[in-house]
């Protein structure tokens, strides 16, 4: 039932008051119409949003999550393997340096150390907390046994005293040592010319 002037007059309301009531009623109905139109526009947008949501859900269902999971796991495994190989290389480098020190301590010639390191498996060596080879005393003994030919002897040997060199103070020499060497050299190359003695 609509609010009209006729109905308000029938209720015995004065004309001035009727105008105020109608004006207030018009304001209320206009604001309600405005709200209604906003809700109607939102409802129309909601239908579009629902379509977008349905499309997104359909695309999501089409995505193969197992494929992405497998790719992730492979990449993760490759990364872990790479990290492990870097750690293994660092550990091997530490073992090589420690083993070189052990070989030097055992008296192996420095010229032979690199060759021995190349043929030695570093997998069997264990390092202690200080970065030195565990059971180094036993390893040194093993090195001395296995590579005894490469161990340098620091002994110095003097001249053989059974046949000491002539020491005549240079007496009896007619030519200098350099001249004698040159003469012998020429004789070997060209043969003896006459008697040059």
Instruction: List, for residues 45-96, the tens digit of each pLDDT value.
Output: 888 888 899 888 888 777 777 777 888 899 999 999 999 999 989 988 888 8
Instruction: List, for residues 147-192, the tens digit of each pLDDT value.
Output: 777 777 766 666 666 665 565 655 566 677 888 888 888 888 888 7
Q: What is the dihedral of CA 118, 121, 126, 132, to 10 degrees?
A: -10
Percent of the chain at pLDDT exceeding 90: 8
Write down the pLDDT at residue 170.
56
Tokens 């043969």 belong to residue? 191
Write down the pLDDT at residue 197.
47
**CB-based contacts of 103: which residues, under 8 Å, 6+ apart?**
113, 116, 117, 143, 147
Paired tokens of 95: 């073992």
Residue 195 is classified by DSSP as -
CB-based burial label for 160 (10 Å; 0-12, 13-18, 19+) = exposed
Give the residue extent of every domain in the chain.
11-59, 89-150
């Amino acid at each position: 039932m609509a609010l009209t002037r006729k109905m308000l007059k029938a209720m015995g309301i004065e004309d001035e008051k009727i105008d105020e009531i109608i004006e207030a009623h018009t304001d209320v109905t206009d604001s309600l119409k405005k709200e209604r139109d906003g809700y109607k526009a939102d409802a129309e947008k909601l239908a579009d949003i629902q379509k977008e949501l349905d499309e997104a859900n359909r695309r999501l269902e089409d995505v193969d999550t197992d494929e992405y999971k497998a790719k992730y796991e492979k990449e993760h495994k490759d990364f872990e393997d790479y990290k492990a190989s870097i750690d293994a290389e660092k550990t091997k480098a530490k073992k090589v340096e420690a083993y070189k020190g052990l070989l030097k301590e055992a008296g192996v010639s420095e010229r032979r150390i690199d060759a021995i390191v190349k043929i030695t498996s570093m997998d069997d060596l264990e390092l202690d907390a200080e970065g030195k080879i565990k059971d180094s005393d036993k390893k040194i003994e093993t090195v001395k046994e296995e590579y005894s030919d490469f161990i340098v002897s620091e002994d110095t040997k003097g001249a053989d005293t059974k046949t000491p060199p002539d020491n005549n103070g240079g007496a009896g020499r007619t030519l200098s040592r350099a001249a004698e060497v040159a003469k012998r050299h020429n004789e070997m190359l060209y043969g003896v010319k006459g008697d040059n003695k």
